[in-house]
Amino acid sequence: MPIDPRLYDGYIGANAAHQTFKREIVNAKVLLFQIRGARDQLRQNFEEKINNARKSATRSFSIGMVTEVFSRSKFRALNIPHNEADLVVKDYDSLETQFNALLYIDLQRILETYLLDLYAEIVRKKPRALISNRTVTFEEVLKATDLIELLLEKQLTSLSHSDRENFEKQFEDMGLPIVGRETSPQEGRDFLTNEFVLLWSVRNILQHSHGIVNALFLRKAHGSGYKLGDQIVIDTTKLGRAFVAVESIADDLNKRAIDKYAIIGA
């Protein structure tokens, strides 16, 4: 089987939206690479710091780091008292689980931000993409120095507070489905579609429901395999799938956007 050349040469679009996306997604990949690669050393280092502090302390103690200095005698610090540190030592796996969840949530943010940035690039190049039933007031029009930017800002605000379905509809209306229909085999499209749905739904569960599957999740994520009340725990496998999906979706969408709307230099 030939090796996929994309493993050696990544795609970085010539437009600002994709370049910003690429910087953020690569930072996230490197962060996971570093944390996973040094997980045993990090755990050992933390436990050693706690043990050394406990040995040298006569009574209670804490560890931490200075985060802001106001003067030689006044500063702000991140403080971890000994009894709080003991919680982590006793259940270090919970720290990794929380880190994975935070990184998964950030992957959704990175993709959503990219979609907003790409949409803005397209509208500034082709303002007709703004056509919708959204309204503005006379006051807003009279105050605006650039009507297109006014309308764009209102649409971006609306999208940033909307759900996955609204993003999909917006890009469908522009002739740019977020998950391309002709760019990969059906199995690949099914994978990307499923992970795209999960990205939004799981993010909401992690942020608002301690990872516990509720009825809204089941309505939004059909066929996810989860049941009501299940606890969603983000492990390396789930993170890996999300990374692949986010990068694949954004890279393919960007190429199609450049071809369709000539947004280079927008």
Q: What is the pLDDT of residues 159-176, one digit of tens each?
A: 877 889 988 988 998 889
Which region holds residue 227: left if phi is over 0, alpha if psi is between -120 and 50, else beta?
beta
* % of residues, the chain, pLDDT over 70: 88
Average pLDDT, the chain: 87
Residue 6 has pLDDT above 70, yes or no: no
Q: What is the mean pLDDT of residues 146-161?
A: 74
pLDDT at 210: 92
This prediction has a pTM of: 0.86
Residue 122 has pLDDT above 80, yes or no: yes
Surface-to-core class of residue 263, CB atoms within 10 Å of its CB (0-12 exposed, 13-18 middle, 19+ buried): buried
How far apart (Å, rounded) are the C-alpha atoms in residues 17 and 255? 12
The answer to whether 206 touches 232, Cβ cutoff 8 Å, is: yes
pLDDT at 254: 95
Q: How confident is residue 208, by pLDDT bands cut at 50, 70 and 90?
A: very high
How far apart (Å, rounded) are the C-alpha atoms in residues 96 and 99? 5
Query: To 5 degrees, how large is the angle CA 154–CA 160–CA 162?
Result: 105
